[in-house]
Chains A and B, each alone.
Chain A
Protein backbone atom coordinates (compact mmCIF):
# COMPACT_ATOMS: atom_id res chain seq x y z
CA UNK A 1 0.00 0.00 0.00
CA UNK A 2 2.95 2.28 0.70
CA UNK A 3 3.80 2.96 -2.93
CA UNK A 4 0.20 4.07 -3.55
CA UNK A 5 0.67 6.67 -0.84
CA UNK A 6 3.25 8.25 -3.15
CA UNK A 7 0.66 8.32 -5.93
CA UNK A 8 -1.83 9.98 -3.59
CA UNK A 9 0.71 12.60 -2.48
CA UNK A 10 1.58 13.24 -6.13
CA UNK A 11 -2.10 13.68 -7.06
CA UNK A 12 -2.79 16.02 -4.15
CA UNK A 13 0.35 18.06 -4.89
CA UNK A 14 -0.77 18.42 -8.50
CA UNK A 15 -4.21 19.69 -7.48
CA UNK A 16 -2.89 22.01 -4.77
CA UNK A 17 -0.20 23.38 -7.12
CA UNK A 18 -2.83 24.61 -9.57
CA UNK A 19 -4.95 26.37 -6.95
CA UNK A 20 -2.01 27.89 -5.05
CA UNK A 21 -0.59 29.15 -8.35
CA UNK A 22 -3.84 30.81 -9.39
CA UNK A 23 -4.43 32.21 -5.91
CA UNK A 24 -0.89 33.66 -5.65
CA UNK A 25 -1.24 35.24 -9.10
CA UNK A 26 -4.56 36.77 -8.01
CA UNK A 27 -2.88 38.21 -4.92
CA UNK A 28 0.07 39.81 -6.65
CA UNK A 29 -1.10 40.87 -10.09
CA UNK A 30 -2.25 44.41 -10.83
CA UNK A 31 -5.89 44.55 -11.92
CA UNK A 32 -6.42 47.23 -14.59
CA UNK A 33 -8.57 45.70 -17.35
CA UNK A 34 -9.47 47.32 -20.66
CA UNK A 35 -11.38 45.89 -23.64
CA UNK A 36 -8.19 45.06 -25.54
CA UNK A 37 -6.67 43.17 -22.65
CA UNK A 38 -9.91 41.26 -22.06
CA UNK A 39 -10.30 40.13 -25.67
CA UNK A 40 -9.25 36.56 -26.46
CA UNK A 41 -5.65 36.29 -27.62
CA UNK A 42 -5.61 34.77 -31.09
CA UNK A 43 -1.95 34.98 -32.12
CA UNK A 44 -2.17 38.77 -32.49
CA UNK A 45 -5.08 38.57 -34.92
CA UNK A 46 -8.41 40.24 -34.24
CA UNK A 47 -10.59 37.42 -32.82
CA UNK A 48 -13.74 36.59 -34.78
CA UNK A 49 -16.68 34.24 -34.20
CA UNK A 50 -17.21 32.01 -31.17
CA UNK A 51 -14.72 29.53 -29.83
CA UNK A 52 -17.37 26.81 -30.03
CA UNK A 53 -16.86 25.76 -33.62
CA UNK A 54 -17.63 22.41 -35.16
CA UNK A 55 -14.46 20.58 -36.11
CA UNK A 56 -14.22 18.37 -39.16
CA UNK A 57 -14.94 14.70 -38.66
CA UNK A 58 -11.47 13.74 -39.92
CA UNK A 59 -9.97 14.75 -36.56
CA UNK A 60 -11.96 11.89 -35.04
CA UNK A 61 -9.86 9.26 -36.82
CA UNK A 62 -6.84 10.29 -34.72
CA UNK A 63 -8.81 9.77 -31.51
CA UNK A 64 -10.02 6.36 -32.67
CA UNK A 65 -6.60 5.18 -33.84
CA UNK A 66 -5.16 6.42 -30.53
CA UNK A 67 -7.71 4.34 -28.58
CA UNK A 68 -6.76 1.23 -30.53
CA UNK A 69 -3.00 1.63 -30.06
CA UNK A 70 -3.56 2.54 -26.40
CA UNK A 71 -5.35 -0.78 -25.87
CA UNK A 72 -2.46 -2.45 -27.66
CA UNK A 73 -0.03 -0.80 -25.21
CA UNK A 74 -2.06 -2.20 -22.30
CA UNK A 75 -1.48 -5.70 -23.73
CA UNK A 76 2.23 -5.01 -24.33
CA UNK A 77 2.88 -4.15 -20.69
CA UNK A 78 2.05 -7.55 -19.08
CA UNK A 79 3.79 -9.23 -22.02
CA UNK A 80 6.97 -7.30 -21.27
CA UNK A 81 6.73 -8.22 -17.56
CA UNK A 82 6.95 -11.98 -18.23
CA UNK A 83 8.85 -11.75 -21.53
CA UNK A 84 11.78 -13.86 -20.27
CA UNK A 85 9.45 -16.64 -19.11
CA UNK A 86 7.67 -16.84 -22.44
CA UNK A 87 10.81 -16.85 -24.60
CA UNK A 88 10.54 -17.24 -28.36
CA UNK A 89 6.89 -18.36 -28.13
CA UNK A 90 5.94 -15.06 -26.50
CA UNK A 91 7.83 -13.09 -29.15
CA UNK A 92 5.98 -14.88 -31.96
CA UNK A 93 2.52 -14.50 -30.42
CA UNK A 94 3.00 -10.81 -29.79
CA UNK A 95 4.22 -10.26 -33.33
CA UNK A 96 1.10 -12.03 -34.65
CA UNK A 97 -0.99 -9.66 -32.50
CA UNK A 98 0.93 -6.60 -33.68
CA UNK A 99 0.90 -7.86 -37.28
CA UNK A 100 -2.89 -7.91 -37.38
CA UNK A 101 -2.97 -4.31 -36.14
CA UNK A 102 -0.30 -3.22 -38.62
CA UNK A 103 -2.69 -4.36 -41.39
CA UNK A 104 -5.06 -1.67 -40.12
CA UNK A 105 -2.27 0.91 -40.12
CA UNK A 106 -1.27 0.01 -43.70
CA UNK A 107 -4.93 0.24 -44.72
CA UNK A 108 -5.13 3.73 -43.20
CA UNK A 109 -1.95 4.68 -45.03
CA UNK A 110 -3.24 3.37 -48.38
CA UNK A 111 -6.56 5.15 -47.91
CA UNK A 112 -4.55 8.33 -47.25
CA UNK A 113 -6.49 9.18 -44.08
CA UNK A 114 -3.22 9.84 -42.25
CA UNK A 115 -2.37 12.61 -44.69
CA UNK A 116 -3.04 16.16 -43.69
CA UNK A 117 -4.86 18.26 -46.27
Chain B
Protein backbone atom coordinates (compact mmCIF):
# COMPACT_ATOMS: atom_id res chain seq x y z
CA UNK B 1 0.00 0.00 0.00
CA UNK B 2 1.48 3.30 -1.09
CA UNK B 3 1.52 6.40 1.06
CA UNK B 4 -1.31 7.99 -0.93
CA UNK B 5 -3.55 4.93 -0.53
CA UNK B 6 -2.94 5.02 3.19
CA UNK B 7 -3.83 8.70 3.28
CA UNK B 8 -7.04 8.07 1.33
CA UNK B 9 -8.04 5.34 3.78
CA UNK B 10 -7.37 7.64 6.70
CA UNK B 11 -9.14 10.64 5.13
CA UNK B 12 -12.54 10.14 6.85
CA UNK B 13 -10.88 9.83 10.26
CA UNK B 14 -8.72 12.90 9.69
CA UNK B 15 -11.78 14.76 8.38
CA UNK B 16 -13.79 13.80 11.44
CA UNK B 17 -11.19 15.12 13.86
CA UNK B 18 -10.70 18.34 11.89
CA UNK B 19 -14.48 18.86 11.91
CA UNK B 20 -14.68 18.00 15.61
CA UNK B 21 -12.11 20.67 16.44
CA UNK B 22 -13.91 23.24 14.25
CA UNK B 23 -17.27 22.43 15.85
CA UNK B 24 -15.99 22.50 19.44
CA UNK B 25 -13.97 25.70 19.02
CA UNK B 26 -16.87 27.44 17.24
CA UNK B 27 -19.34 26.29 19.89
CA UNK B 28 -17.05 27.69 22.57
CA UNK B 29 -16.83 30.96 20.65
CA UNK B 30 -20.64 31.14 20.40
CA UNK B 31 -20.87 31.36 24.16
CA UNK B 32 -17.79 33.56 24.60
CA UNK B 33 -17.86 36.01 21.69
CA UNK B 34 -18.28 39.58 22.90
CA UNK B 35 -20.38 40.78 19.98
CA UNK B 36 -23.62 38.90 19.59
CA UNK B 37 -23.33 39.01 15.78
CA UNK B 38 -20.01 37.22 16.00
CA UNK B 39 -21.67 34.57 18.16
CA UNK B 40 -24.31 34.11 15.44
CA UNK B 41 -21.65 33.67 12.75
CA UNK B 42 -19.77 31.13 14.85
CA UNK B 43 -23.06 29.29 15.18
CA UNK B 44 -23.17 29.15 11.37
CA UNK B 45 -19.73 27.54 11.49
CA UNK B 46 -21.02 24.95 13.99
CA UNK B 47 -23.94 24.14 11.66
CA UNK B 48 -21.56 23.81 8.69
CA UNK B 49 -19.28 21.49 10.67
CA UNK B 50 -22.23 19.30 11.62
CA UNK B 51 -23.16 19.12 7.92
CA UNK B 52 -19.61 17.87 7.30
CA UNK B 53 -20.07 15.16 9.94
CA UNK B 54 -23.30 14.10 8.18
CA UNK B 55 -21.34 13.78 4.93
CA UNK B 56 -18.77 11.56 6.66
CA UNK B 57 -21.61 9.38 7.98
CA UNK B 58 -22.90 8.97 4.42
CA UNK B 59 -26.10 10.89 5.22
CA UNK B 60 -26.01 13.08 2.13
CA UNK B 61 -29.64 14.21 2.19
CA UNK B 62 -29.32 15.19 5.84
CA UNK B 63 -26.13 17.13 5.03
CA UNK B 64 -27.90 19.01 2.23
CA UNK B 65 -30.90 19.73 4.44
CA UNK B 66 -28.59 20.91 7.21
CA UNK B 67 -26.90 23.38 4.88
CA UNK B 68 -30.16 24.55 3.31
CA UNK B 69 -32.21 24.93 6.50
CA UNK B 70 -29.69 25.60 9.29
CA UNK B 71 -26.81 27.34 7.52
CA UNK B 72 -29.30 29.09 5.24
CA UNK B 73 -32.61 29.84 6.87
CA UNK B 74 -32.06 29.48 10.62
CA UNK B 75 -28.88 31.58 10.48
CA UNK B 76 -30.74 34.32 8.58
CA UNK B 77 -33.50 34.18 11.18
CA UNK B 78 -31.00 34.62 14.01
CA UNK B 79 -29.28 37.53 12.28
CA UNK B 80 -32.62 39.24 11.64
CA UNK B 81 -33.57 38.67 15.27
CA UNK B 82 -30.35 40.46 16.30
CA UNK B 83 -31.10 43.25 13.80
CA UNK B 84 -34.53 43.98 15.26
CA UNK B 85 -33.39 43.71 18.87
CA UNK B 86 -31.53 46.28 20.96
CA UNK B 87 -28.92 43.79 22.08
CA UNK B 88 -25.63 44.33 20.24
CA UNK B 89 -22.84 43.49 22.60
CA UNK B 90 -22.40 41.58 25.78
CA UNK B 91 -20.81 44.31 27.88
CA UNK B 92 -17.25 44.07 29.21
CA UNK B 93 -18.42 44.28 32.77
CA UNK B 94 -20.76 41.38 32.30
CA UNK B 95 -18.09 39.24 30.62
CA UNK B 96 -15.57 40.00 33.35
CA UNK B 97 -18.07 39.26 36.10
CA UNK B 98 -18.88 35.96 34.43
CA UNK B 99 -15.17 35.08 34.18
CA UNK B 100 -14.57 35.96 37.83
CA UNK B 101 -17.58 33.93 38.87
CA UNK B 102 -16.32 30.86 37.05
CA UNK B 103 -12.92 31.25 38.70
CA UNK B 104 -14.28 31.48 42.21
CA UNK B 105 -16.56 28.50 41.64
CA UNK B 106 -13.61 26.44 40.45
CA UNK B 107 -11.71 27.50 43.57
CA UNK B 108 -14.44 26.25 45.87
CA UNK B 109 -17.11 28.91 45.28
CA UNK B 110 -20.22 29.55 47.28
CA UNK B 111 -23.94 28.87 47.32
CA UNK B 112 -26.08 28.55 44.23
CA UNK B 113 -23.20 28.72 41.73
CA UNK B 114 -21.67 25.57 43.24
CA UNK B 115 -25.01 23.78 43.09
CA UNK B 116 -25.32 24.69 39.40
CA UNK B 117 -21.82 23.40 38.71
CA UNK B 118 -22.61 20.06 40.34
CA UNK B 119 -25.92 19.85 38.45
CA UNK B 120 -24.24 20.66 35.13
CA UNK B 121 -21.59 18.04 35.83
CA UNK B 122 -24.19 15.40 36.66
CA UNK B 123 -26.18 16.17 33.49
CA UNK B 124 -23.01 15.97 31.37
CA UNK B 125 -21.90 12.67 32.86
CA UNK B 126 -25.43 11.26 32.57
CA UNK B 127 -25.74 12.27 28.93
CA UNK B 128 -22.31 10.88 28.07
CA UNK B 129 -23.26 7.61 29.78
CA UNK B 130 -26.52 7.48 27.83
CA UNK B 131 -24.70 7.99 24.51
CA UNK B 132 -22.11 5.32 25.36
CA UNK B 133 -24.83 2.87 26.45
CA UNK B 134 -26.73 3.48 23.20
CA UNK B 135 -23.53 2.95 21.21
CA UNK B 136 -22.78 -0.29 23.06
CA UNK B 137 -26.30 -1.62 22.45
CA UNK B 138 -26.49 -0.67 18.77
CA UNK B 139 -23.17 -2.35 18.06
CA UNK B 140 -21.96 0.22 15.57
CA UNK B 141 -19.76 -1.67 13.09
CA UNK B 142 -16.13 -0.69 13.05
CA UNK B 143 -15.34 1.82 10.34
CA UNK B 144 -18.96 2.96 9.99
CA UNK B 145 -17.66 6.47 9.47
CA UNK B 146 -17.30 7.07 5.76
CA UNK B 147 -18.35 3.51 4.93
CA UNK B 148 -21.93 4.32 4.01
CA UNK B 149 -21.14 6.46 0.96
CA UNK B 150 -23.35 4.32 -1.22
CA UNK B 151 -25.72 5.31 -4.01
CA UNK B 152 -27.25 8.13 -1.95
CA UNK B 153 -29.93 8.32 0.70
CA UNK B 154 -32.36 10.76 -0.91
CA UNK B 155 -34.48 8.27 -2.87
CA UNK B 156 -34.95 5.77 0.03
CA UNK B 157 -35.88 8.61 2.39
CA UNK B 158 -38.32 10.00 -0.17
CA UNK B 159 -39.94 6.57 -0.68
CA UNK B 160 -40.56 6.25 3.06
CA UNK B 161 -41.63 9.86 3.52
CA UNK B 162 -44.24 9.94 0.76
CA UNK B 163 -45.77 6.52 1.43
CA UNK B 164 -45.31 5.18 4.99
CA UNK B 165 -45.05 8.58 6.68
CA UNK B 166 -47.55 10.41 4.50
CA UNK B 167 -49.70 11.68 7.37
CA UNK B 168 -46.81 13.14 9.42
CA UNK B 169 -45.55 14.75 6.21
CA UNK B 170 -48.89 16.44 5.54
CA UNK B 171 -49.16 17.43 9.21
CA UNK B 172 -45.78 19.14 8.91
CA UNK B 173 -47.40 21.62 6.53
CA UNK B 174 -49.97 22.44 9.21
CA UNK B 175 -47.19 23.06 11.74
CA UNK B 176 -45.48 25.38 9.25
CA UNK B 177 -48.79 27.15 8.63
CA UNK B 178 -49.27 27.75 12.36
CA UNK B 179 -45.77 29.22 12.60
CA UNK B 180 -46.41 31.51 9.65
CA UNK B 181 -49.79 32.73 10.94
CA UNK B 182 -48.24 33.36 14.36
CA UNK B 183 -45.51 35.49 12.82
CA UNK B 184 -48.02 37.41 10.70
CA UNK B 185 -50.22 38.15 13.72
CA UNK B 186 -47.21 39.52 15.63
CA UNK B 187 -46.11 41.78 12.77
CA UNK B 188 -49.65 42.93 12.00
CA UNK B 189 -50.05 44.03 15.61
CA UNK B 190 -46.86 46.08 15.45
CA UNK B 191 -48.12 47.67 12.25
CA UNK B 192 -51.36 48.76 13.95
CA UNK B 193 -49.34 50.40 16.72
CA UNK B 194 -47.38 52.30 14.08
CA UNK B 195 -50.57 53.59 12.46
CA UNK B 196 -52.03 54.80 15.75
Q: Do the beta carbons of B184 and A111 come within 8 Å of each other?
A: yes
* Given A100-B177, A113-B188: A81 touches B83 (CB 8 Å cut-off): no
Task: Report which of A60, A67, A103 forms a contact with B187, defined as CB distance below 8 A.
Answer: A60
Is residue B32 within 8 Å, beta carbon to beta carbon, of the partner chain? no
From 36 to 59 in chain A, residues with beta carbon under 8 angstroms from any chain B beta carbon are 52, 54-59
Main secondary structure on A side of the interface with B: helix
Query: Is B86 among interface residues, defined by CB-CB distance under 8 A?
Result: yes
Residue total for A at the interface (Cβ-Cβ under 8 A):
48
Inter-chain contact A100/B174, CB cutoff 8 Å: yes
Which of A77, A81, A97 has a CB less than 8 Å from the CB of B173?
A97
CB distance from B57 to the nearest CB of A (A): 12
Chain B: how many interface residues by the 8 Å CB criterion? 48
Q: How far does the Cβ of A91 sit from chain B's closest Cβ, in whole Å? A: 11
- What does the 1/0 interface line of B64-85 toward A look like (CB < 8 Å)? 1100110011101101110111
- Residues of B bordering A, CB below 8 Å: 11-12, 55, 61, 64-65, 68-69, 72-74, 76-77, 79-81, 83-86, 88, 146, 149, 154-155, 157-159, 161-162, 166, 169-170, 172-174, 176-177, 179-181, 183-184, 186-188, 190-191
